[in-house]
Amino acid sequence: QLVYPYDFRLTEKEKTSICYLSFPDSYSGGLGDTQFSFRLRQAGGQRTTHYEDDGEYNREAPLTLQRESAHYFGYVYFRQVKDSSMKRGYFQKSLVLVSRLPYVNLFQSLLQLIAPEYFDKLEPCLEAVCNEIDQWPPPVPGQTLNLPVMGVVIQVRIPSRVDKPGSSPVKQFNQENLLPAPLVLPSIHELDLFRCFQPVLIHIQMLWELMLLGEPIVVMAPSPTVSSEMVLALTSCLAPLRYCCDYRPYFTIHDSEFKEYTTRTQAPPNIVVGVTNPFFIKTLQHWPHILRVGELRMSGDLPKQVKVKKLAKLKTLDTKPGIYTSYKTFLHKDKTLIKRLLKGIQRKRPSEVQSALLRRHLLELTQSFIIPLEHYIASLMPLQRAITPWKNPPQIRPFRQEDFMKTLEHAGPQLTCVLKGDWLGLYRRFFKSPNFDGWYRQRHKEMTQKLEALHLEAICEANIVAWMKDKSEVEIVDLVLKLREKLVRARCQHLPVKEETLRRVGLYIETIIGSLPEDLQAVLHHH
């Protein structure tokens, strides 16, 4: 019905997709308000955004919270109430917030404030809210922001890449001077993992392995809320490792990728997809891993845990909750986690305490797995003494899987993790996954930039006048052009170089140019 602000351009295809993704796509008898999320592939490739600070934000934000360039997130507030004046006897409407940022808690909290007002006062309400949001500061990683909207101040901290993984959010500050007291969000994006993973707590290890390996998974849920929370919980369980595959927290049969995902002519894509329409049981039964969950109920004892079942047991309509897969885990189950969670349930510990336990367990598991890889890749970096000012910096040595495997004997995950099992098999399989590819590219890029920075520092320390003594004009001009190109690159790519180093290299260039004949000086200055 309405897009606000008016100048926000969506293609027709995107509008249609957003419409379908904004409503439950199978009969939901539930009346009242529900909230859920979706993620949408942008139509027609990347478009320019009006965020000039994109690069800066993405460099400082954790990899898992970067702004997406080819997808939108949709945060939905759906209301369904009886209304005899409507043709269908119901009022059904959704307010959707579209963003490139995965701040699920912030945006869903914002909708809880705006949507009830909007259904009541309509467009003027959105105009007022957008005017307030326009005044918000941009999200700067590491900062705590106070965001005023509709008489409330939401206070939230934007996580930063330099935060220690697993550290609890910094206690919020400067509250005394804020009246009314702010609505403090403990996290901008972290879900209540304990609640989301309730029916599958005893299988957390298996799900972690499936996510690590980028396996195709279908989550079949009774509602878009359960489906989107489960998918988002799954994609977050590898942190701080970035989940590099595609994921759809909520997916409908009207989606433009429907054919692509349901075709039987090729293997299912590396993606986690959340669905609610029973029709998918039939169209996606050739997928290797299907997680069927019921409604989430918070109760005093350990909720009924789903069983792992053979895929052949997938009945077309009345499918019991369960994990339908023939996957055999590489690692043995961790009994201590379940014991600790059970003790927490008996002692009536709050859900956030249980979630923190679960998150720490997953973090330690991921770190045990990734630390040996980090050690090995660091050993591929050339020695600092091999970096000399007048030669191109040496190459980073290639990643050799077999060499890495040899390091595991002395420095494998067994040093930090009590879990026994086939770690080697898990690494071999991980090397074939998009998550390894994404991790390796990111590290390689960082190391290349570090080399480039070290090279600039070496140039700074060098005695340029001595070098120039026996060089021809051609060689000197060549050096000027190369140094200039290095400076431009350092600035464009924001290399980790001190400002002082760049200034000195700039002065060097001026000095060298000054030593050349005047006609050449003019040409180089003109360049």
What is the pLDDT, as a whole number, of residue 510? 83
Side chain identity at residue 136, one-letter code:
W
pLDDT above 70 (res 131): yes
pLDDT above 80 (res 465): no
Distance CA 172, CA 144 (A): 8
Q: What is the pLDDT of residues 212-263, one digit of tens each?
A: 999 999 999 989 999 999 999 999 999 889 999 999 999 998 887 888 888 8
Global pTM? 0.88
Q: Are 74 and 22 a contacting pair, CB within 8 Å? A: yes
Tokens of 294: 């019921």
Distance CA 261, CA 266 (A): 9
Summarize the confidence of residues 304-319 as an average pLDDT.
Answer: 73
What is the pLDDT, as a whole number, of residue 526? 67
What is the pLDDT, as a whole number, of residue 301? 62
Secondary structure (DSSP) of 191-206? --HHHHTGGGGGGHHH
**Residue 201 exposure: Cα atoms within 13 Å on the Cβ side:** 26
What is the pLDDT, as a whole number, of residue 417? 79
pLDDT above 60 (res 300): no
What is the pLDDT, as a whole number, of residue 282? 80
Summarize the confidence of residues 397-401 as an average pLDDT.
Answer: 94
Portion of the chain with pLDDT greater than 90, in percent: 37
Summarize the confidence of residues 23-32 as an average pLDDT.
Answer: 73
Q: Where are the domains of the chain?
A: 12-138, 193-434
Distances (CA, A) of 344 to 303, 336, 357, 358: 13, 12, 10, 11
Average pLDDT, the chain: 85
Side chain identity at residue 521, one-letter code:
Q
pLDDT above 70 (res 122): yes
Residue 391 CA, distance from chain mean position: 38
pLDDT above 60 (res 46): no
Q: Kindly report which listed range (290-304, 347-361, 365-379) carries the lowest average pLDDT score.
A: 290-304
Which residues touch 177 (CB under 8 Å, ≥6 apart)? none
Query: Which is more confident, 510 or 145?
Result: 145
Residue 77 φ then ψ, to 5°: -120, 110
pLDDT above 50 (res 380): yes
What is the pLDDT, as a whole number, of residue 172? 47
What is the pLDDT, as a whole number, of residue 95? 93
pLDDT above 80 (res 27): no
Q: What is the pLDDT of residues 153-196, one digit of tens each?
A: 999 999 998 888 766 555 545 555 555 678 888 888 999 999 89
pLDDT above 70 (res 464): yes
Summarize the confidence of residues 441-449 as an average pLDDT.
Answer: 93
* CATH architecture designation of domain 193-434: 3-Layer(aba) Sandwich (3.40)
Summarize the confidence of residues 342-359 as an average pLDDT.
Answer: 89
Which residues touch 338 (CB under 8 Å, ≥6 apart)? 201, 202
pLDDT above 80 (res 523): no
